[in-house]
Structure 1
Amino acid sequence: MIAALLIAGGALAHAAWNIALKASTAGGIRFVALTVVLATALLAPVGAPALLPVLVEHPSVAGLLLASGALHCGYFLLLQRSYAVADVSVVYPLARGTGPFLSVVAAVVLLGERPASVALLGGGVVVAGVVVIGLAGARPSSAPSTSDAATDARRRRRRLGIVLGAGVGILIAGYTVLDAVAVTAAGLSPVGYFWGSLVVQLMILAPLLIANPGETVATARRHPRAIAAVGILSPIAYVLVLAAYAHAPVAIVAPAREVSVVLIALAGWLLFREPHPVQRLIGSAVVVAGVALLASG
């Protein structure tokens, strides 16, 4: 029950910041870096006291923090690049479907988790529903008069999207499993651990902010609300997920947290008038069915 509440809270916070971001024109690596600055500062009063004494006593924990920060940063950088050079309708469903699927596989193979068969089935159903929702953004390529060159370009873009989407999914699985190990096997505080991961991300992204301070200030002035929404809600969402690992195995939490995709898909239809509402509703129903199976397992 506690795990379900934590996952639900994380899903609501995740959906909220994604919807706020969608409603704005914000984007780009510098924007992401500013949200990391805000999140790091906001979590510091709680995260620093929870982490620093542990770091002093167990310096090896720094390795987990460095790996987590690098994986999260790699995820954001690759995702931004993927959306720039490939179709979102290909990258998004592959990333959000591949990530939880690989997380479940890793949890079983590497962590020795043995979830019930019905829970594994539920995880698979959730992943399938996420892919259905993601593909709702795809538009049929049935233009009556397109040149061979244009057709080849679309095919190359689609192949690139498949490769990059799978790469993003691998990074999602990587930090999902690593972070779960940190707060379960290593016993680190979710808030302290994630704050440490944010510090590492900030160290990686800081040179970008410093290199062009004028552009950094301009970005902050253009998108203050979006930066606040992402910088506040994104860490809340992920800390709640990290806390859920203490009450449920990774093989259940990883796919269950994707219920946020349903909320984002519905918001895309109802608030932003995005196309293919029937497919979005079908995918949402599939995800809900998968979550129900997870709960029964």
Structure 2
Amino acid sequence: MPIPIIFLVLFAALLHASWNALLRSGADRLWSMTVMCIAIAITSVVAAAFMVPPAIESWGYAVLSALLHVGYNLFLVRSYRVGDLGQVYPISRGSSPVLVTLGAAVFAGESITSGELLGIALVSGGIISLAFRGRSLSVPSLPYALGTGGFIAAYSVVDGIGARLSGAPLAYTVWMCALWGVLMPVVYIGLRDTRSLFCVRPGTVTALVGGLVSLLAYGMVIYAMTEAPLGAVSALRETSVLFAVLIGYVFLGETLTARRILACAVIASGTLIIG
């Protein structure tokens, strides 16, 4: 994998961990996520106005990805309702690289070297191990965290294929994100109401900034997927859990044990092998 792509994905991982920490620290996470999506929609629509549309072959993938992103949003919010960042995030992010690798092999016809496969396994295993407490994996929101990982894998494969067919990965990104950003408020209104969505609350600015950060991070990842194998990109992206562990420790009061430090070392080793 080209060195510039590696650093691009690692920077996207840092951004991704940052907005997840913002979401986890919010009082009303469904509202925060929806406000983030509004920021994503507005920014994407403005950007799309200055771009040539992606190739028509990619439009179906963009629609499917937007729907999958909404499902991801709902599962992630539900996961954080009863789980902490240090457990939910590793499970949801750690379960996806292997699924992405399998999906890319089946649907995109990708092959992967034994070294890359080993690196992906180390990254995924190291990430999931961060969620353990002693020898047990006691996470009240485990089904939702695993479901979140499934959605991540699904939209990653869909976007990887769609971006390659689009002929313009950046245009594909903003069109897909514009649709996703419009769908999420519709879902929120269906679940709650219009008034509570558009009222100004503490954290509004934080949520809007989080949406912009999320858009930037995922745009980087989609571009990387057009230049490198989907599974390897996904595994590198999920090193965001390293940043999440540090953010959870420094800002959210979560514990950092010797086991977690060892798991981080395993993840770093897998990253080096992939690179």
Normalised by the length of structure 2, the TM-score is 0.87
C-alpha contact 2:23 2:29 (8 A) present in aligned 1: no
Amino acid at match of 1:204: L
| Structure 2: stretches of 5+ with no match in the other structure | none
Superposition deviation, residue 88 in structure 1: 6.6
Q: Which residue of 2 aligns with 1:16?
A: 18
8 Å Cα contact 2:86/2:245 also seen in 1 = no
The one-character-per-residue Cα deviations of 1:161-197 (angstroms, maximum 9, x if unpaired) are 443332222111100000000112x034333222222
Aligned length: 271
C-alpha deviation, 1:223, in angstroms: 1.1
**Shift of residue 229, structure 1, vs aligned partner:** 2.6
One-letter amino acid of the counterpart of residue 230, structure 1: G
Assess if the C-alpha contact under 8 Å between 1:78 and 1:168 holds in 2.
Answer: yes
1:250 counterpart letter in structure 2: L
- Determine which of 117, 126, 133 is the counterpart of 1:129: 126
Whether the aligned pair in 2 keeps the contact of 1:13 and 1:233 (CA below 8 Å) is yes
In 2, distance between residues paired with 1:43 and 1:206?
Answer: 15
What residue in structure 2 maps to residue 37 of structure 1? Answer: 38
State the alpha-carbon separation in 1 of the partners of residues 128 and 121 from structure 2.
11
SS at 2:166's partner residue?
A: coil
Aligned CA distance change for structure 1 residues 88 and 230 (closer, same or farther; 3 Å):
closer
Quick one: distance in 1 between partners of 2:235 and 2:30?
Answer: 27
Q: How big is each residue's C-alpha offset from its partner over 1:66-93, in whole Å with a ceiling of 9 and x where there is no partner?
A: 1010000001112222333677766443
Match of 1:203 among 163, 178, 182: 182
Aligned residue in 2 for 1:216: 197
Q: Is the 8 A contact 1:90 1:162 kept in 2?
A: no
Q: Equivalent residues in 2 for 1:138-157 (5 A)?
A: 138=133
Instruction: Kindly report the root-mean-square deviation, in angstroms, between the aligned alpha carbons of the 2 structures.
Output: 2.7
Is the contact made by 1:130 and 1:287 (CA closer than 8 Å) also made in structure 2?
A: yes
Change (3 A) 1:279 1:273: farther
How do 1:225-244 residues align onto structure 2 when only pairs under 5 Å count? 225-244=205-224
Report percent identity of matched pairs.
27
Aligned position for 1:253: 233
> Any idea what the Cα deviations from partners look like across 1:97-146, whole Å, max 9, x if unmatched?
221110011122332222211111000000011112233xx4899xxxxx
Q: 1:258 to 1:243 in 2, by over 3 A?
A: same
> What amino acid maps onto 1:64 in structure 2?
Y
Distance 1:19 1:95, change over 3 A: closer
State the Cα distance separating 1:209 from its structure 2 match.
Answer: 4.3
Residue 123 of structure 2 contacts residue 270 of structure 2 at CA under 8 Å; is this kept in 1? Answer: yes
Cross-structure match for 1:146: none
Judged with a 3 Å threshold, the aligned counterparts in structure 2 of structure 1 residues 92 and 259 are, in CA distance, closer, same or farther, namely closer
**1:71-220 correspondence runs (5 A):** 71-84=68-81, 91-135=88-132, 138=133, 161-184=141-164, 186-207=165-186, 208-209=188-189, 212-218=193-199, 220=200
CA contact (8 A) 2:37 2:182 kept: no
Structure 1 length normalisation: TM-score?
A: 0.81
